[in-house]
Chain A
Amino acid sequence: MAPAAPRPRHLTRSAGLLAAVAVLAVITVLGIAVGAKQVPLDQVWHGLFHYSGSDTDVVVRDVRLPRTLLGLIVGAALGLAGTVMQALTRNPLADPGVLGVNAGASAAVVSAISFLGVTSLTGYVWFAFAGAAVVSVAVYVLGGTRNATPVRLALAGTALTAVLVGYINAVNLMDTAALDKMRFWTVGSLAAATMETVTGIAPFLAVGAVLALLIARPLNAVALGDDQAKALGARLTRTRVLSMAAVTLLCGGATAVCGPIVYVGLMVPHAVRAVTGPDMRWILPYSAVLSPVLLLGADILGRVVARPGELQVGIVTAVIGGPVFIYLVRRRRMSQL
């Protein structure tokens, strides 16, 4: 290989990341501007920086801004979690939704709300973490740890999801009031965002994101297989534990605030890998920037297609993501799966 070869690649990737950030900025502004009430861009600026208390300013500051911020951090969290899961399990189909981690967090939150009367986010976020942690370990173990194939893992996750959904249904049946609240939460929506939810969940997601970015190098080694990774000096157990911790924080936190959202963590890393190549040190930042683009884009789409009502973002991502998942399954030769 020519010695100068890495430099242009490096530059392209940096430029690409900058472009992604620019796209994210545009989407963020759109997220504030578009909705049941269209806000012109100058009004958006006014509402954000020269708050005067007019109706438009209230819409911008108290409704759209928290919602968009929540979409930003939740999107980044889901994208990072999906990327880490795909790298850790060496499985192209890993996703917090497909592997049941979000369902685990949901089931725990539903129990907390229904049986323990927990109502505050800071109260049930811990249950979400516990649920996410238990399910991620269970799926990993049920999927056959070392010799886990994508099919096994996906089946284990889907089967666990089926159990958990059955449990959530049962709880909802016994408690109609809970059903009324829960059916909007289990869809996966950003609509209920307030500034308190954003500031309440941001620290957890930040810790998870830092963890995920820190383990990029060992995850690169893991991609070569257990033996090679060990030979290269990666500490496998530590990497696995840290990855699980990151996934738990990111998925549990994201699910606690806006319900289970599937496929964001599946789609983005695949698209990113096509641009960056297999280096996790690039995939992770790219995913963190582009996943919110997808999530906010889906949220905006949901607001546009069903105006003046809206489609919850979890439904939009599922409807977009399902075909992508099936495309991935069809494209790959079975030996690769």
Chain B
Amino acid sequence: MISPVKPEQGTKSAAGGGRGGAAAPGARPERSGTPDRPGKRAPGKRPLAARRRVLPVRTPGGLSLRLDVRAVLVGLLLLAVALAAGIVLIGSGDYPMTPAEVVGTLTGGGTAGQEFIVRDLRLPRVLVGLLVGAAFGIAGAVFQTVSRNPLGSPDVLGFGQGSAVGALTVIVYFQGGPFAVAAGAVVGGVVTGAAIFLLAWKRGIHGYRFVLVGIGAAAMLYALVLYLMTKANIVEATRATIWMTGSLNGRGWDQVWPLAAVCAVLVPLVLCYGRPLRMLEMGDDAAYALGVRVDRVRGIALPAAVLLVASATAAAGPISFVALTAPQLVRRLTRSPGPNPLPSALMGAALLVAADWSAQRLFGADQLPVGVLTGVLGGGYLLWLLATERRAGRV
């Protein structure tokens, strides 16, 4: 159940009744009236939403927050998993290190050799993985909320292909280095995003139209990618295929800093729009009625998500299905409505780093890029959706 609550009201009812998750503005009078409201049911039969535990937080400045206990716990757990996976990933490779050694080296207590391996070789790769995963996760959450469909993620809607066209143009026609390829990917992704945005614009952005225009663009851009592939010689074609699959191999500090800067600006921006985005899930009309400026929310959150996807793609290639799966897994873990932007970002980071570690363990170091594994996992996720979600009619 979605609770259209202003912060103050939420805290009040949470403090009073302890069920802020299902408290609607008009719920209080109804509690004593209509018998089918959750509040009137016998304690053992109350629906899931009514059993949520919510902590109100008030600061002296008058700011108040509703903290969903379960969501906070899930977020902390995911953060721990992401960090642990990162440490394990730093420790694995031709020169294995125990987690204790890794932590020791990171805090400045390692030998010179360990320092070099950790600081210069493996830490940047892990950081790129964490940032890319977080960017994909949060962008996927925004896209799925706006399109109101679990399949409406940027990799399905042609943004990956747009970046790929940019990157492949650089690879095939200019034989550019990694920097130029990354720049091409950003340009391709942003231009694609802007084009899809403009083409879907018709007195405002409608979620479904956005999705369909994205699908139309995806097929067209994929044809351009294939065309570029036929123009390449076999060496360039292999390089392009690896790039399109998405890989973390050989990523250094050069990739970390730009991505970190983009994330530092855009992730807080998206987090600020978490609440209106959650309202959007009820449909445009309901959101309007509740005072959400629908077009402005979409007009800010979507470009931010597009930029995040483009920068992440520039750093690691269009790694598929992280953006698709992370928000969905998070939604099931936290059981709370809305995009869950922060837990989605953490889930994306944890997923990607864990997938990179698994890819290295399963196929041998640097044999197959991480995108192959996430692609397979994405396929599994789709099958699972097929089995479970279809009956609920949510796909």
Are B375 and A167 neighbours in the complex by a CB distance under 8 Å? yes
A184 close to B (CB within 8 Å):
yes
B245 close to A (CB within 8 Å):
yes
Which residue of A174, A311, A317, A326 is within 8 Å of B227 (Cβ)? A311
A19 close to B (CB within 8 Å):
no
A319 close to B (CB within 8 Å):
yes
Are B241 and A172 neighbours in the complex by a CB distance under 8 Å? yes
A-B pairs with CB below 8 Å: how many? Answer: 165
In the assembled complex, the CB of A234 is this many whole angstroms from the nearest CB of chain B, namely 25
B300 close to A (CB within 8 Å):
no
Residues of B contacting A15 with CB < 8 Å? none
- Given contacts A170-B245, A183-B229, whether A319 and B395 have CB atoms under 8 Å apart is no
B386 close to A (CB within 8 Å):
yes
In the assembled complex, the CB of A82 is this many whole angstroms from the nearest CB of chain B, namely 13
Are A163 and B382 neighbours in the complex by a CB distance under 8 Å? yes
Which residue of B206, B237, B245, B379 is within 8 Å of A183 (Cβ)? B237
CA–CA, A172 to B369, complex, Å? 13
Are A166 and B216 neighbours in the complex by a CB distance under 8 Å? no
What's the interface size class on A, roughly? 35 or more
Are B156 and A158 neighbours in the complex by a CB distance under 8 Å? yes
Q: Which of B216, B238, B375 has the most CB of A within 10 A?
A: B216
B45 close to A (CB within 8 Å):
no
In the assembled complex, the CB of A256 is this many whole angstroms from the nearest CB of chain B, namely 17
Residues of B within 8 Å of A, CB-based: how many? 52
- Given contacts A138-B386, A337-B208, whether A170 and B227 have CB atoms under 8 Å apart is no
Q: Which residues on A are within 8 Å of B, measured CB to CB? A: 93, 97-98, 138, 141-145, 147, 150-152, 154-156, 158-160, 162-163, 165-167, 169-170, 172-174, 176, 179-180, 183-184, 186-188, 262-263, 311-312, 314-315, 317-319, 321-323, 325-326, 329-330, 334, 337
Apart from A151-B149, A329-B216, 15 more pairs, CB < 8 Å: A151-B208, A152-B395, A159-B382, A160-B382, A162-B155, A166-B321, A170-B245, A173-B245, A187-B227, A312-B227, A315-B227, A321-B220, A330-B200, A334-B206, A337-B208
19 A-B pairs within 8 Å (CB atoms) are namely A141-B386, A142-B390, A142-B395, A154-B211, A155-B211, A155-B395, A156-B151, A158-B215, A158-B218, A162-B155, A169-B245, A176-B238, A179-B238, A314-B223, A315-B227, A325-B216, A326-B199, A326-B213, A330-B209
